[in-house]
Copies of this chain bind each other. A is one copy, B any other.
Amino acid sequence: MPVISTKLRARLLDALAHPNRVRILEAIRSGHTCSCEIAPELDLEQSNLSRHMKILVDRGVLVPERDGVRINYRIADEDIFKLLDLTGELVRRNAERSILEEAGKPS
């Protein structure tokens, strides 16, 4: 009955629903842990990246851990990556379907 709040689910999805934030998460998955590494890697303005990070932290996607002058970010829940992978699968199959229906069209 207590179907998980649609608002909270939408809010989490929204945290991930930006190309740069997807890229940021992939950068973290591949071992980069701090903005100072990610910013040059993804060619993002420092202040812009900082705001994306804030969104990801505020919504519980990333956990910040200060280490001296830098802040290391780690994923709060490994299943976030599972979600990203599933999204990729869906995109891939969606593209396949588009091609198939293209083939089944009248000329």
Contact = CB atoms under 8 A, between A and B. Distances in A.
B4 A19 contact: no
Given A4-B92, A97-B60, A97-B76, A87 B22 contact: no
A79 B86 contact: yes
A13 B25 CA distance: 14
Contacts of A26: 3, 6
A34 B21 CA distance: 34
Given A10-B22, A79-B86, 15 more contacts: A3-B26, A3-B88, A4-B88, A4-B91, A6-B19, A6-B23, A9-B88, A10-B19, A12-B87, A12-B91, A13-B13, A14-B18, A16-B17, A60-B97, A83-B86
